[in-house]
């Protein structure tokens, strides 16, 4: 159902292909990748197409979701070296740093009461020098902006044959999320010691940026 909901968003699958392209184009041999909020395993699926990727560490505080990611990896065969960790960035052993950190569609679930900041700081602290963060979130300035996009979303869902029930699930869920504006996102990145996010993907209320550790 989660994937069906995602299919209703025009081009969202391309965001995962971009992750593959960014990892492939990352300088350095066999980059070590941290997948934060591995959930259903979509990033792992995307990384399966990279012939340059090194070890992958996939984390998620939900053991159930991580099991889904594990099943996804298992179905891909033995080509990827994936370590699964139930938890957050705090549960990764001290001193481990990653060439690429992905954070796709996780932070919009976290409250802006210091939790989003702590999350971003955790990502920043896990980036190796020269490492790249790929971060995607639901993002809009005001709920009116979301409302204006809804008819396009529903029409697109219909065109691609997504059921009305699946399409509605997304519409019911988004207004309940602690979504923040792009301006607030940029301020949190700066506070957490990350460089200005660079937008690489946008469709309806979904955005994806790259960033790295800001110089101290």
Ligand X SMILES: C[S@@+](CC[C@H](N)C(=O)[O-])C[C@H]1O[C@@H](n2cnc3c(N)ncnc32)[C@H](O)[C@@H]1O
Among 22, 26, 31, 119, binds ligand X (CB under 6 A): 119
Say which DSSP state 92 is in: S
Size of site (CB under 6 A) for ligand X: 17
Kindly calculate the radius of gyration of the chain based on its CA atoms and give it in whole angstroms: 17
Q: Which two tokens stand for residue 104?
A: 């796709």
4, 21, 55, 62: residue in contact with ligand X (rule CB under 6 A): 62
Minimum separation from the CB atom of position 184 to ligand X (A): 18
> Strand 98-104 to strand 127-138: parallel, antiparallel, or no bridges (unpaired)?
parallel
Q: Which stretch binds ligand X (CB under 6 A): 48-56, 61-69, 190-198, 207-215?
A: 61-69
Stretch that binds ligand X, among 56-64, 92-100, 153-161, 178-186 (CB under 6 A): 56-64
Q: Using CB atoms, what's the residue nearest to ligand X?
A: 39
The residue (of 148 and 169) whose beta carbon lies closer to ligand X is 169
Distance CA 178, CA 145 (A): 15
Q: Which is nearer to ligand X, 114 or 130 (CB)?
A: 114
Cβ nearer to ligand X, comparing 98 with 119? 119
Q: How far is the CB of 202 from ligand X (least distance, A)?
A: 16
Quickly count: other Cβ atoms within 10 Å of residue 215's Cβ. Answer: 7
∠ CA 177-36-187 to the nearest 5 degrees? Answer: 55
Query: Beta-carbon neighbour count of residue 106 at 10 Å?
Result: 20
Q: Strands 198-203 and 127-138: what pairing?
A: unpaired
Is residue 61 involved in binding ligand X (CB under 6 A)?
Answer: yes
Q: How far is the CB of 215 from ligand X (least distance, A)?
A: 26
Stretch of residues binding ligand X (CB under 6 A), selected from 105-113, 146-154, 183-191, 204-212: 105-113
What is the footprint of ligand X within residues 11-40 (CB under 6 A)?
A: 36-37, 39-40
Under rule CB under 6 A, residue 206 binds ligand X: no
What does the block give as tokens for 190?
A: 């700066």
* Burial degree of 62 (CB within 10 A; 0-12, 13-18, 19+): middle
């Amino acid at each position: 159902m989660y994937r069906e909901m995602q299919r209703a968003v025009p081009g969202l699958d391309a965001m995962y292909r971009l992750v593959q392209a960014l990892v492939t184009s990352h300088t350095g041999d066999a980059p070590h990748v941290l997948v934060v909020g591995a959930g259903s395993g979509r990033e792992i699926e995307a990384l399966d197409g990279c012939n340059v990727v090194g070890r992958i560490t996939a984390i998620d505080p939900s053991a159930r979701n991580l099991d889904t990611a594990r099943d996804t990896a298992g179905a891909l065969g033995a080509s990827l070296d994936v370590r699964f960790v139930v938890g957050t960035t705090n549960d990764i052993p001290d001193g481990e740093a990653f060439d690429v950190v992905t954070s796709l569609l996780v932070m919009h679930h976290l409250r802006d009461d210091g939790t989003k900041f702590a999350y971003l700081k955790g990502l920043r602290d896990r980036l190796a020098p020269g490492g790249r963060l790929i971060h995607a979130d639901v993002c809009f300035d005001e709920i009116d902006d979301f409302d204006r996009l809804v008819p396009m979303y529903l029409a697109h869902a219909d065109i691609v044959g997504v059921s009305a029930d699946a399409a509605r699930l997304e519409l019911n869920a988004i207004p309940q999320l602690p979504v923040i504006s792009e301006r607030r996102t940029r301020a949190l990145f700066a506070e957490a010691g990350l460089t200005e996010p660079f937008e690489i993907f946008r469709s309806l209320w979904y955005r994806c940026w790259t960033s790295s550790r800001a110089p101290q």
